[in-house]
Amino acid sequence: MDVEALISAALREAGYGPDAIGSALPRIMRILQAEDVRIAVGRSLSRKEREYVRLQLELGLNVSEIVAGLQA
């Protein structure tokens, strides 16, 4: 089971309806991906870097592309 399906199932089990899950799931996934970026970089991100990561995730870039941009 992938992470998105697992979180979706957990939210359903907690009593959230399809509308709540549909609106919350994309944000939860971006938060997890941002944490993946932080772990891959190996340090805490500055405020400017966190904003960069947030914007890149909203544009649809994946974690490895964002990490490469931060390390360039």
Q: Residue 1: pLDDT above 80?
A: no
Q: According to the model, what pLDDT value does residue 10 have?
A: 96
Query: How many domains does the structure of the chain reveal?
Result: 1
Q: According to the model, what pLDDT value does residue 50 have?
A: 94
Q: SS3 sequence, the chain?
A: CCHHHHHHHHHHHCCCCHHHHHHHHHHHHHHHHHHHHHHHHCCCCCHHHHHHHHHHHHHCCCHHHHHHHHHC
For the chain, the average pLDDT equals 93
Q: Would you place residue 20 in the very low, low, confident or very high pLDDT band (cuts 50, 70, 90)?
A: very high
- Structural domain for 61, as ranges: 3-71
pLDDT one-digit tens code per residue, 30-43: 999 999 999 999 99
Residue 46: C-alpha distances to residues 5, 35, 43, 54, 58 (Å): 31, 13, 9, 12, 18
Q: Would you place residue 72 in the very low, low, confident or very high pLDDT band (cuts 50, 70, 90)?
A: confident
